[in-house]
């Protein structure tokens, strides 16, 4: 009787190499005793029945050749290897989907290679995320700088217009101060107040397109000259229109000469059809004009200002905003 013990040893050695010595492999069966048992059973079988077992060959009376292809210990080893391979494939799929947080169980050089690969990929991905974040921050920073530069240029233009006429010196800044104080008293949000503040600084920007002789003319304007002046809200809004981040401000600039009773310009809209910001700016603008000297009149007294504001409530001005301004005047906040 021949057996193939050397095959079992070879397979065990191979498995040990594959598993890199991380698993203890043993075979539960005793080949000699099993073979003895098999031999006894086979001797009891008839030749015909024996021929149906292709793995068992009768060499002579009492001598058989038996080919042993596996044992329960080897099968368990192979199952372990299969489980590791399945685990490896699953982890590869997860890594391909972007999950680089997992490591695989010890499996010799293969696990080292896989774990090293996911570590390298994770490092590369983290580095890329850092670069993206830096890039995003730089774009935001540049974008903010660019917006500030635009605003600085536009403010410089608006202030230059104020400075053309000594009677309108600092007019835009004053209007901004009053409009912000009124907005705050009315409980508007900081975002709304910011928009009203910027729009107030830019409200007369469109006068850049008004001839100088009209802007600096001493005395009253002719009807034709007034028609030219009345174009400035539209011109100001047009200048701001291409700057998307100033769209809300452009709308207020367009409406700052509308009247509550609908008799203003350029569109003649009335009441709450006019944005609240523009209604506030209209009062702040007129208030600054009232309290400053003009080439054709002196500055109004406090009482004259109060009388004029009350008279204009519901006509030129939003009555609620007039009340707020009167309250601020009474408290001497303005
Ligand atoms: Fe204006």
Residue-wise pLDDT tens digits, 250-260 = 999 999 999 99
Tell me, what DSSP letter sits at residue 73? Answer: H
pLDDT digits (tens, 9 = 90+) for 192-211: 999 999 999 999 999 988 99
- Measured in angstroms, how far is the CA atom of residue 292 from the centroid of ligand 1? 15
Share of the chain above pLDDT 90, in %: 46
- Measured in angstroms, how far is the CA atom of residue 254 from the centroid of ligand 1? 9
- Measured in angstroms, how far is the CA atom of residue 14 from the centroid of ligand 1? 92
Q: Coil, strand or helix: which one is 60?
A: strand
Q: Coil, strand or helix: which one is 299?
A: coil
Q: Do residues 250 and 240 make contact, with C-beta atoms less than 8 angstroms apart? A: yes
pLDDT of residue 109: 67
Question: What is the rounded (10 degree) CA torsion for 172, 177, 182, 186?
Answer: 120
pLDDT of residue 47: 58
- Measured in angstroms, how far is the CA atom of residue 191 from the centroid of ligand 1? 23
pLDDT digits (tens, 9 = 90+) for 120-177: 888 888 889 999 999 999 999 999 998 889 888 888 888 888 887 777 889 999 999 9
Statement: residue 27 has pLDDT above 70: no
Q: Do residues 102 and 89 make contact, with C-beta atoms less than 8 angstroms apart? A: no
Between strands 63-66 and 56-60, the pairing is antiparallel
- Measured in angstroms, how far is the CA atom of residue 257 from the centroid of ligand 1? 6
- Measured in angstroms, how far is the CA atom of residue 205 from the centroid of ligand 1? 8
| Residue 20: closest CA among 105, 91, 86, 101 | 105
pLDDT of residue 34: 63
- Measured in angstroms, how far is the CA atom of residue 51 from the centroid of ligand 1? 114
- Measured in angstroms, how far is the CA atom of residue 164 from the centroid of ligand 1? 15
pTM for the structure as a whole: 0.63
Across the range 59-79, mean pLDDT stands at 56
Sorting pLDDT into bands at 50, 70 and 90, what band is 4? very low
Question: Over the chain, what is the mean pLDDT?
Answer: 83
- Measured in angstroms, how far is the CA atom of residue 269 from the centroid of ligand 1? 16
| Residue 167: closest CA among 298, 305, 292, 297 | 292
- Measured in angstroms, how far is the CA atom of residue 275 from the centroid of ligand 1? 16
Q: Do residues 73 and 27 make contact, with C-beta atoms less than 8 angstroms apart? A: yes
The C-alpha atoms of residue 248 and residue 195 are separated, in whole angstroms, by 7
pLDDT of residue 166: 74
Statement: residue 89 has pLDDT above 90: no
Classify domain 165-330 at the CATH class level: mainly alpha
List of long-range contacts for 106-109, beta carbons under 8 Å, 24+ apart? 106/20, 106/22, 107/19, 107/20, 107/22, 108/17, 108/18, 108/19, 108/20, 108/22, 109/20
- Residue 27: C-alpha distances to residues 8, 65, 229 (Å): 9, 22, 104
pLDDT of residue 238: 96
pLDDT digits (tens, 9 = 90+) for 274-330: 999 999 999 999 999 999 988 778 899 999 999 999 999 999 999 999 999 999 999
The C-alpha atoms of residue 234 and residue 49 are separated, in whole angstroms, by 109
Name the H helices within the chain.
5-18, 31-43, 47-51, 72-96, 109-164, 171-185, 190-201, 212-215, 223-229, 232-240, 247-255, 276-291, 302-312, 319-330
- Measured in angstroms, how far is the CA atom of residue 233 from the centroid of ligand 1? 6
Whole-angstrom Cα Rg for the chain: 46
Tell me, what DSSP letter sits at residue 317? Answer: B
pLDDT of residue 2: 42
pLDDT of residue 56: 55
The C-alpha atoms of residue 4 and residue 228 are separated, in whole angstroms, by 112
pLDDT of residue 286: 97
| Residue 320: closest CA among 287, 248, 271, 285 | 271
pLDDT of residue 308: 96
Q: Which helix (H) or strand (E) covers residue 248, if one does?
A: helix 247-255
Tell me, what DSSP letter sits at residue 230? Answer: T
The ranges of the chain annotated as CATH 1.10.3210.10 are: 165-330
Q: Do residues 88 and 96 make contact, with C-beta atoms less than 8 angstroms apart? A: no
pLDDT digits (tens, 9 = 90+) for 230-248: 999 999 999 999 989 999 9
């Amino acid at each position: 009787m021949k057996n193939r013990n050397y095959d079992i040893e070879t397979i065990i050695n191979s498995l040990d190499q594959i598993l890199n010595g991380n698993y203890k492999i043993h075979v539960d069966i005793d080949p000699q005793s099993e073979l003895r048992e098999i031999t006894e059973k086979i001797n009891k079988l008839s030749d015909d029945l024996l021929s149906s077992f292709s793995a068992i060959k009768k060499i002579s009376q009492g001598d058989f050749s038996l080919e042993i292809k596996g044992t329960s210990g080897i099968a368990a080893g192979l199952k372990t290897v299969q489980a590791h391979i399945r685990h490896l494939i699953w982890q590869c799929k997860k890594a391909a989907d972007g999950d680089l947080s997992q490591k695989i169980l010890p499996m010799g050089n293969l696990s080292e290679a896989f774990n090293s690969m996911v570590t390298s990929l994770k490092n590369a991905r983290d580095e890329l995320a850092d670069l993206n974040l830096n890039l995003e921050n730089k774009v935001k920073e540049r974008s903010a700088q660019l917006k500030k530069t635009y605003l600085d240029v536009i403010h410089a233009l608006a202030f230059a217009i104020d400075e053309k006429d000594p009677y309108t010196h600092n007019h835009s800044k004053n209007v901004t101060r009053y409009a912000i104080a009124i907005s705050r008293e009315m409980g508007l949000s900081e975002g709304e107040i910011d928009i009203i503040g910027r729009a107030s600084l830019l409200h007369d920007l469109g006068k850049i397109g008004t001839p100088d002789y009209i802007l600096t003319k001493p005395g009253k304007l002719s009807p034709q000259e007034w028609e030219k002046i009345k174009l400035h809200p539209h011109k100001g809004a047009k200048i701001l229109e291409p700057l998307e981040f100033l769209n809300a401000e452009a709308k207020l600039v367009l409406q700052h000469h509308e009247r509550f009773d609908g008799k203003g310009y350029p569109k003649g809209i009335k009441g709450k059809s006019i944005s609240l910001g523009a209604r506030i700016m209209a009062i702040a603008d007129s208030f600054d004009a009232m309290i400053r000297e003009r080439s054709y009149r002196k500055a109004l007294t406090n009482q004259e200002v109060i009388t004029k504001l009350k008279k204009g409530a519901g006509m030129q001005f939003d009555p609620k905003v007039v009340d707020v301004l009167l309250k601020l005047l009474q408290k001497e906040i303005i």
